[in-house]
Amino acid sequence: MAHILTLTAKRAEVPVRQTEKVIELLEEGNTVPFIARYRKEATGSLDEVQIKNIEESYQYITGLEQRKEEVLRIIEEQGKLDEDLKKKITSATVLQRVEDLYRPFMQKRRTRATIAKEKGLEELANALMKFPTTTLDELAQPFIDEEKEVSTIEEALAGARDIVAENIADDAALRETVRKMTWASGKITSIVRKNAEDEKNVFGNYYEYEEPLKKIVPHRTLALNRGEKEKVLRIAIAFPEEQIIGNIEKTIIKKTHVPASKEVQEAITDAFKRLIAPSVEREVRAVLTEQAEEQAIHVFSENLKSLLLQPPLKGNVVLGVDPAFRSGCKLAVVDETGKLLEVSVIYPHPPKASKEKAKQCILEVLQKYPISIIAIGNGTASRETEKFIADCLKESKTGVSYVIVNEAGASVYSASELAREEFPNLQVEERSAVSIARRLQDPLSELVKIDPASVGVGQYQHDVAKRKLADSLNFVVETAVNRVGVNVNTASSSLLQYVAGLSKTVAENIVKSREENGLYAKRNDLKKVPRLGAKTYEQAIGFLRVPNAANPFDSTGIHPESYQLAEEILKKINMSKKEIGSEEVAKALSELDVPKLAEELNVGTVTIHDLIETLRRPNRDPREDYPQPLLKADVLDMKDLYEGLEMQGTVRNVVDFGAFVDVGVSEDGLVHISKLKKGFVKHPLDVVASGDIVTVWVDGVDKKKGRISLTMIPPKKDGK
């Protein structure tokens, strides 16, 4: 176990002691969010990502150790396991190394080498590798045997070369050298396939393309893969062939001026071209794809996290608008709690344009309800609808603002079974308008109703492994939900199922029990929910809030296991739990000597710090730390833009090469990675995140192509 712990810690880049504690907690059935939030003393305050990394590293290392045991057993059963090989396999830290060492002992299908061995030519192959001064005729003559179908000297030598070639290809050290040389000096190339169909020239940049393997960036790998999948491109790895073959010859050929050396030389070339290169090419492509997928998933995950953690605009009556041309713009008014008040449809755009009637409808809705914000989806006809709404607002003089809302996935939700259950009498598009309004009020609660992969805030998400993407995105949603906490009396089962420890069934049971028995009055009431056992209760309860409970702690992030400790802290400042969150409590808590208090109460300082922070701000929402949506009252046209114009915008999407920013015109502008800030930027995510409100300057406008180039680097003034 110590060996596994050491390897896991090294792979996860976390000290062994912390790694051991995390694994111990996971094996006891604790969830990642629970460990991150309520076991900080044990883990040294590791966050969810670090804990998840330890979990995945542990799974990899245990799988590696199991494979080592299996390989050692198979080789030993063959009677070929010596101490040197055993040591090499045992000390391997990656699966690829184990497979390389096992390769010579694998049960192979019939190859040219195995056929040659059946003809009794292995001894001749071994003789060639000793590089004798004997002539080739003298070496091969004894192996001519008509019965074994070896009729000539050349046939005997050809079979021996096949055996030598396979032995070279199976040499673990040589394969590793070829890999390293390929990564250092190899290139990835692509050409357009004959009769390829690419009408829009999507892959035009790759019709005749090559790039060093060590320089290719992830999004180009995925673009190449897609071009290959769509039968437009033919991809290949260009090896530094001469360099590799020369290196193998230098390693293997001990004597260069003997007859056998030319035979071995030929076998080396064959080994590389026929056996090693195709295999290494597959490996290299697989590694490039894996790296590209990991990066694409990382970018998608970060964008999703930013979207989920956008601050809610609570306490607002909202008009949601789902824009469209032909089918009209769907309207939905929701009250402060998200309850639907009214739906309708207007036709402000061609082909059924009835602009005046549409405007009248908007003005009447604004008069009828105390609407403070209009949420406009950013899909088809969004910009045209934005201009229409801005004109309506000028006429209404109500002081109402509007905001563009990322509607990605709204149509998926609208057509889902969940949406049909929620709004059985609404059309699909009307449900979408409700979703757009609600995701402004509380993005997290609304977005959890949608499959995370359908929230289109990534790049190339359709080109990555679906299972890997789903696992990563579900982890992001789970982390966000548990960081924010959930009101158990208003949460949908869609939201509850992401709470630590709760399955979909238990989440549905919580809602069902609430509907049948009324609102939960205290956390303990949840113990009566079917299938919510003691362990599930322990894992979930700290993330579930019961507002207005008799015990104020029930509406906070304080876990019931720490209630007594929280009361002890309040006793020290002569305050009651009814007063938590008040200025008096906050002031008194800030004056406490934390190390001394921790010693008195016999707990860690981290736990004390967390409890004090919660008692100071019991209803703190971590989303408050993120920028509020950018509210607008007017719209710009592309013709209004000029180089150097300063604007504020909302980051809509972050990709490997930059960030797309909504500045209120017909198209989102691109801030290229080189224009995000002065100096080197490794990745745009190091500078911006989806939902950020940023100041940008127009860098260029291509009105013909509808492209806007932006910069976040302030322009020089007065020649400075």
- 500/498 Cα distance (integer angstroms): 6
Q: CA torsion 552→555→556→561, rounded to 10°?
A: 70
| CATH classification number, 2-105, choose in 3.40.50.450, 1.10.10.650, 3.40.50.740, 3.30.1330.10 | 1.10.10.650
How confident is the model over 444-465, as a mean pLDDT?
Answer: 80
How many helices and strands (H and E) does the chain possess?
30, 15
- 565/587 Cα distance (integer angstroms): 19
Residue 706 confidence class, pLDDT cut points 50, 70, 90: confident
49-60, pLDDT tens digit by residue? 999 999 999 999
230-280, pLDDT tens digit by residue? 999 999 999 999 999 999 999 999 899 999 999 999 999 999 999 999 999
Phi first, then psi, for residue 670 (nearest 5°) are -105, 125
How confident is the model over 514-534, as a mean pLDDT?
Answer: 97
Beta strand extents in 86-193 (DSSP E only): 187-192
CATH superfamily of 112-186+239-297: Tex N-terminal region-like (1.10.3500.10)
3-state secondary structure at position 317? strand
Q: Are strands 233-238 and 317-322 parallel, antiparallel or unpaired?
A: unpaired
Helix ranges (DSSP H) in 208-276: 218-229, 241-252, 259-270
The fraction of the chain above a pLDDT of 90, given in percent, is 83
- Contact present, 444 and 308 (Cβ < 8 Å): yes
Fold match between 317-441 and 465-548?
Answer: no
Per-residue confidence (pLDDT) for residue 718, from 0 to 100 = 55
Per-residue confidence (pLDDT) for residue 711, from 0 to 100 = 96
- Contact present, 578 and 533 (Cβ < 8 Å): no
The fraction of the chain above a pLDDT of 70, given in percent, is 99
Matching residue, tokens 């193998």: 248
Per-residue confidence (pLDDT) for residue 460, from 0 to 100 = 65
Per-residue confidence (pLDDT) for residue 406, from 0 to 100 = 84
How confident is the model over 146-163, as a mean pLDDT?
Answer: 96
Average pLDDT for the chain: 93
Fold adopted by 465-548: DNA polymerase; domain 1 (1.10.150)
Residue 408 pLDDT > 90: no
* Burial of 355 from C-beta contacts in 10 A (0-12 / 13-18 / 19+): middle
Residue 76 pLDDT > 70: yes
566-602, pLDDT tens digit by residue? 999 999 999 999 999 999 999 999 999 999 999 999 9
How confident is the model over 414-418, as a mean pLDDT?
Answer: 91
- 54/44 Cα distance (integer angstroms): 14
How would CATH label the architecture of 638-711? Answer: Beta Barrel (2.40)
- The length of the chain in residues reads 720
Buried b (16+ CB within 10 A) or exposed e, 445-462: bbbbbbebbebbbbbbbe
Retrieve residue 398's tokens: 């109500």
Per-residue confidence (pLDDT) for residue 639, from 0 to 100 = 82
Per-domain boundaries in the chain: 2-105, 112-186+239-297, 317-441, 465-548, 558-617, 638-711
546-to-131, 491, 696 alpha-carbon distances in Å: 83, 11, 43
Fold adopted by 317-441: Nucleotidyltransferase; domain 5 (3.30.420)
Per-residue confidence (pLDDT) for residue 398, from 0 to 100 = 86
346-381, pLDDT tens digit by residue? 999 999 889 999 999 999 999 999 999 999 998 889
The helix (H) or strand (E) run that includes residue 670 is strand 669-672
- Helices 48-77, 16-27: crossing angle, 10 deg rounding: 90
DSSP string, 335-377: -TTS-EEEEEEE--STTS--HHHHHHHHHHHHHHS-EEEEEEE
* Nearest partner of 678 among 687, 670, 669, judged by Cα: 687
610-664, pLDDT tens digit by residue? 999 999 999 999 998 887 887 887 777 788 888 999 988 999 889 999 999 988 8
Per-residue confidence (pLDDT) for residue 719, from 0 to 100 = 47
Matching residue, tokens 């039968």: 231
- 58/69 Cα distance (integer angstroms): 17
Residues 6+ apart with CB under 8 A from 175: 100, 103, 169, 276, 279, 280
Per-residue confidence (pLDDT) for residue 703, from 0 to 100 = 82
540-576, pLDDT tens digit by residue? 999 999 999 999 999 999 999 999 999 999 999 999 9
* Nearest partner of 480 among 560, 543, 523, judged by Cα: 543
Per-residue confidence (pLDDT) for residue 626, from 0 to 100 = 80
